Structure 1
Amino acid sequence: MRGLLFAFLGGALITLQGVANSRISQSIGTWQAATLTQWTGFVTALLILLFIRDRKLREFKQVKPLYLTGGALAAIIIFGNVTAIQQMGATFTISALLIAQLSLTFLIDSKGWFGVAKQKMQAPQFIGILLMVAGVIILRF
């Protein structure tokens, strides 16, 4: 239950962040908005790490180098979301984003990539993704 709550919170905050970044980028530019968002996110995470969590900084050495690209991916994600929201609006952008996320996680789960336990995907999962695509098509037209 707690995981579901965090998932809903994260989804809501991603939407709010996308809209806020779109507004910021209209004033200062898209890459500037991405830079500002990354910077404020870094500062916030660092403060939480130092003051609220257990302050175990040595564990950073255990992170595989491939996974260190997450921050770089976030900059591209921000740019993509800002650009899409400006061109298509928030509803269609977030709908398409969710389909892309589900499709990739479907592949990751079914192939067992990145050390994730391999999951057998069946017809209900395929149908779910197809229904989402149909929903986005309906939203668009």
Structure 2
Amino acid sequence: MRGIIFSILGGAFITLQGVANAQISQQLGTWQAATLTQFTGFLMALMILLIVRDGNRQGFKQIKPLYLMSGSFAAIIIYSEVTAIHQIGITFTISALLIAQLCLTFLIDTQGWFDVPKRKMNLPQFIGIAMMVAGVVILKF
């Protein structure tokens, strides 16, 4: 149940961040919005880390370099999302974003990429993906 709650919170905050970044980018520019977002995100994560003080600091040495770069993906995410919001609107942007996430996570799960255990997908998962894609197509037209 906690996983579902955190998923809903994450989805809500991704949407709120996209809308806020789109507004910031109109005033400052898209890369400036991405920079500001990354900086404030870093500060928030640092404050939470200092308060919570959980995790293993020694584990940094064992992390693969590719995974250490994951934070840099956010710059591309923010730029792409803000640009899409300006061009096609927030609803269609978030819908397409979710479909892209779902398709890539499907590949990651079924292929076992990034050291994720392989999972077998069955007909219900394929139907679910098809229904989401159909929903986005219907939403667009």
Q: Normalization by structure 2: what TM-score? A: 0.95
Q: Which moved more, 1:15-24 or 1:48-57?
A: 48-57
Would the alpha carbon gap of residues 120 and 26 (structure 1) be closer, same or farther in structure 2, given more than 3 Å must change?
same
Are 2:123 and 1:127 equivalent residues in the alignment?
A: no
Mapped partners of 1:106, 1:57: distance in 2: 31
* Distance in structure 1 (CA, Å) of the matches to 2:61 and 2:35: 25
Cα separation, 2, equivalents of 1:107 and 1:54: 31
Match of 2:32 in 1: 32
> Structure 1 stretches of 5 or more lacking a match?
none
In the TM superposition, what is the alpha-carbon distance from 1:55 to its structure 2 partner?
A: 7.0
Aligned to 2:16: 16
User: What is the deviation of 1:113?
Assistant: 0.9
- Identical amino acids, percent of aligned pairs: 70
Distance 1:49 1:88, change over 3 A: same
Q: Which residue of 2 aligns with 1:114?
A: 114
Distance 2:136 2:15 in 1: 16
1:3 aligns with 2:18: no
Distance 2:108 2:126 in 1: 14
**Map of 2:52 onto structure 1:** 52
- Mind listing any 5+ residue stretches in structure 2 that lack a counterpart? none
Deviation at 1:56, TM superposition (A): 4.5
Question: Which TM-score applies when normalising by structure 1?
Answer: 0.95
Distance 1:28 1:59 in 2: 38
| Aligned equivalent of 1:96 | 96
Deviation at 1:61, TM superposition (A): 2.2
